[in-house]
Amino acid sequence: MPRESIYKRYKPEFIPQLNNNQGSYWFLFKSNKIMVKNNGNSIQIPFLKNLEDLDIAPERSQYLGTFDGFPAYTGELSPQSATPVEMNFLDLRSLYGAISEDLYLLAGRASQIAHWDRTHQFCGQCGSPTMTKGDEMAKICPECGFTSFTRLSPAVITAIVKDGKLLMAQHTRTTGNMYGLIAGFVEAGETLTEAVERETLEEVGLKVKNISYFGSQPWPYPHSLMVGFTADYDGGEIQVDGKEIVDAQWFSPDELPRTPSGMSIAGDLIQWYLDHYSP
């Protein structure tokens, strides 16, 4: 199902509100896990008037803008930071369904910006320490002027149909009997649809046609953008590459194996297939 835009509640900004005295959302990360308040009945993103009250201080922080009118920040704690009382550090994926979808999406954005902030402390051109620009989410080198913006790695994922059956593949990186869709990163110099064609041919030896855009989803693990497509089989026999794919088969709606959850665009694409091809 298409998700509503996060911008209905979230307003990106670059200059913090100096007169805020009500509180702020803090998306704090330690060793790639996010800090949450867990009272046993619910999980909450910390909303604090003073971060100092938790007796912690981020090594780095970035202002994200406002959510429901309140300031929001992302920051990274050192691995040695103690866990404040009533707080836990959880894997970001585990928050799906535990907090509102808008907050989950903003947490994903916060995670991506924190990762970018950590990995762009020095200029990639001359090696000098960088500075965060005040008017946009970017790092600038004071020595050579090189500017680095937040990094995204686009990837394509495709639901491929042949005679009413869906192509699903078992990836080397998944455990158990989980099957997913054909996916891969976009390479330099190619379009999104060309990436669909190449990845399908490389991973399972098949040609596709009628490639149609389905939707997109930010995927902050750590900095991807998943772009979904549907396509029809156009030729070839399944030949898995043995490196990324160990098995691939055509499945009818009543034969589907264990599939990804609804938190991913893969789940949305599979649901699209069921909606269109179930008897």
pLDDT in tens, 263-274: 789 999 999 999
| Of 114, 107, 93, 88, the residue nearest 25 (C-alpha) | 107
**Span 133-151, average pLDDT:** 94
Find, among 190, 193, 215, the residue nearest to 265 by Cα. Answer: 215
pLDDT of residue 252: 97
Closest by Cα among 95, 110, 191 to 150: 110
- Residues sharing a CB contact under 8 Å with residue 117, sequence separation 6 or more, in sequence order: 60, 62, 74, 76, 132
**CATH number for the domain running over 6-119:** 3.90.79.20
Structure tokens at 159: 């639901």
Contact 239, 205 (CB under 8 A): yes
Amino acid 48: pLDDT: 92
The confidence score (pLDDT) of residue 2 equals: 58
pLDDT value for 178: 86
- Cα–Cα distance measured from residue 255 to residue 253, given in angstroms and rounded to the nearest whole number: 6
Element (H, E) at 187: none
Q: Which of 11, 89, 97, 6 is nearest to 54 (CA)?
A: 89
CATH number belonging to the domain at 153-277, selected among 3.90.79.10, 2.60.40.150, 3.30.930.10, 3.30.70.260: 3.90.79.10
Angle at 250 between CA 246 and CA 251, to 5 degrees: 115
- Indicate the helix (H) or strand (E) that contains 81: none
User: Once rounded to an integer, what is the mean pLDDT over residues 38-57?
Assistant: 89
pLDDT over threshold 90, residue 260: no
Q: List pLDDT tens digits, range 178-234.
A: 899 999 999 999 999 999 999 999 999 999 999 999 999 999 988 899 999 999 999
Closest CA to 216 of 277, 166, 154, 171: 154
Instruction: Answer whether residue 3 shows pLDDT above 70.
Output: no
3-state secondary structure 26-73: EEEEECCEEEEEECCCCEECCEECCHHHHCCCCCEEEEEEEECCEEEE
Mean pLDDT calculated for residue range 83-105: 92
Burial class (CB in 10 A: 0-12, 13-18, 19+), 58: buried
- Mean pLDDT across the chain: 93
Q: What is the dihedral of CA 249, 252, 254, 256, to 10 degrees?
A: 30
User: Would you place residue 158 in the very low, low, confident or very high pLDDT band (cuts 50, 70, 90)?
Assistant: very high
Tokens coding 63: 């202002």
Return the structure tokens found at 255. 């034969």
Residue 88 contacts residue 45 (beta carbons within 8 Å): no
State the span(s) of the chain assigned CATH 3.90.79.10. Answer: 153-277
Ranges of CATH 3.90.79.20 domains, the chain: 6-119
Q: What Rg value do the Cα atoms of the chain yield, rounded?
A: 21
Amino acid at 239: Q
